[in-house]
Chain A
């Protein structure tokens, strides 16, 4: 199968990260809609064969089938971005992008759990998930406050990288799980800038008007 194929669920914020990357990189791609809710299609044998942990997104790039959001973002940037900006090739730029991808994969997991609990009533302690989520989002706001003092607009470099793509949905969708943007001024500023990137797209839960 030629080209890029994304196994996609429209309401999944991790799929949205990949849709954002594909759009910001200006790539042609085909979506395959997966009936996650209520169908649980991502847990059926054909999907488990591609992503054994049962998680979306899954990207097919020619013969390569890839799962894991951060791996997919890194692959797209390294393979399909001739400018090399979205994933700096080496040095501190590369290292800091990896640090925030790791933060996204690990520390922002609570925001995904909080949103699922809120939207789809999956199990979880709502108050604990919300407290952990606001703690993680505040770490991001502290970082962008410090970056602002250094006259830097983006998380990891002097320009947007896949770190910004990986971190954007947790903040942009935080109202889905009861966290307002009120107490995070540095992230409001960053999100307003992020929305002006050429190729930016919203998803359900992120207003078109702002």
Chain B
């Protein structure tokens, strides 16, 4: 699944406020995710072409993002439009940050490293944001553990099985009874993975107590995945043999 042609979630929409930016990585490649003041999200290479400074350290003004070092400002297309030290300069088009195709769907910000991607196959259902979990393991290992903590229903309040369902290479559903969580899989690197979790349904139903209810599950899952595994009995046997 770790090819650049896929669509990959790089954060919950809720996590990037208008007029703000944050850094992230996809397969080790550094990206800046930022949202202009009109609300449009952008995913770019996280590097100012001037001195290599991370643009995620910078600041957003209107539909421009500016580098913290020398204030070079880039427009939505990644083109440098203003250099404070040379205010009258008509900046050459070659001063450009590589930009990636970006879409928002299902409460997440999606990007692809491909120049010619297939359409994004994520449905347009309403979602309510929950939490992004950052884990020290591979994407495959995280996916394998998605069902390890039982999901307690919120709507029906009864007992139901926890079912994990693969929607695409980078999007899974974890459901129980009438409730469904959507989990976006971001391969930050071979050993680091983000799970972006949203609740499927309306804000009227889930905002507040529904979010708090499922936050418990998310934090339990993070603990369960990150806790050191008990050593296999063989290790004890080997120690006994040595004695």
Please report A residues at the B interface, Cβ cutoff 8 Å: 142, 145-146, 149-151, 175, 180-183, 185, 188-189, 192, 207, 209-210
Contact of B23 among A180, A189, A210 (CB under 8 A): A180
Complex CA–CA separation, A207 to B58 (angstroms)? 9
Complex CA–CA separation, A188 to B219 (angstroms)? 19
B211 at the interface (CB under 8 A from A): yes
Complex CA–CA separation, A31 to B134 (angstroms)? 42
Query: Which of chain A's residues have a CB closer than 8 A to the CB of B68?
Result: 207, 209
Q: Is the CB of A209 within 8 A of B208?
A: no
B57 at the interface (CB under 8 A from A): yes
Given A182-B56, A185-B22, A149 contacting B15 (CB threshold 8 A): no
Complex CA–CA separation, A103 to B11 (angstroms)? 28
Query: Which of chain A's residues have a CB closer than 8 A to the CB of B64?
Result: none
User: Can you name 27 A-B residue pairings with CB atoms under 8 Å?
Assistant: A145-B131, A145-B215, A149-B207, A149-B211, A149-B212, A150-B212, A151-B208, A175-B57, A181-B22, A182-B56, A183-B132, A183-B134, A185-B12, A185-B14, A185-B15, A188-B17, A188-B20, A188-B22, A189-B17, A192-B20, A207-B57, A207-B59, A209-B58, A209-B59, A209-B66, A209-B68, A210-B59
Query: Which of chain B's residues have a CB closer than 8 A to the CB of A175?
Result: 57
Complex CA–CA separation, A183 to B212 (angstroms)? 20
Residue-wise, chain B 1-43 has the 8 Å CB interface mask toward A (1 for contact) of 0000000000110111100101110000000000000000000
Query: Which of chain B's residues have a CB closer than 8 A to the CB of A207?
Result: 57, 59, 68
Given A182-B56, A185-B14, A185-B15, 17 new contacts (CB under 8 A):
A146-B212, A149-B208, A149-B212, A150-B208, A151-B208, A181-B23, A182-B22, A182-B24, A183-B132, A185-B22, A188-B17, A188-B20, A207-B57, A207-B68, A209-B58, A209-B59, A209-B66
Q: Is the CB of A146 within 8 A of B132?
A: no
Q: Is the CB of B23 within 8 A of A182?
A: yes
B16, B24, B57: residue with the most chain A Cβ atoms closer than 10 Å: B57
Given A150-B212, A182-B56, A209-B59, A142 contacting B22 (CB threshold 8 A): no
Q: Using a Cβ–Cβ cut-off of 8 Å, how many residues does chain B contribute to the interface with A?
A: 26
Complex CA–CA separation, A112 to B32 (angstroms)? 28
Closest residue of A by beta carbon distance from B132: A185
Q: Is the CB of B17 within 8 A of A142?
A: no
The list of the 5 closest CB pairs from A to B, nearest first, reads A185-B15, A149-B211, A183-B134, A182-B23, A209-B59
Residue-wise, chain B 101-123 has the 8 Å CB interface mask toward A (1 for contact) of 00000000000000000000000
Q: Is the CB of A149 within 8 A of B23?
A: no
Q: Is the CB of B215 within 8 A of A149?
A: yes
Complex CA–CA separation, A142 to B212 (angstroms)? 11
Query: Which of chain B's residues have a CB closer than 8 A to the CB of A192?
Result: 17, 20
Closest residue of A by beta carbon distance from B71: A209
Closest residue of A by beta carbon distance from B68: A207
Closest residue of A by beta carbon distance from B58: A209
Complex CA–CA separation, A175 to B23 (angstroms)? 12
Q: Is the CB of B59 within 8 A of A185?
A: no
Complex CA–CA separation, A210 to B19 (angstroms)? 9
B16, B56, B134, B219: residue with the most chain A Cβ atoms closer than 10 Å: B134
Complex CA–CA separation, A188 to B23 (angstroms)? 12
Distance in angstroms from A207 CB to nearest chain B CB is 6
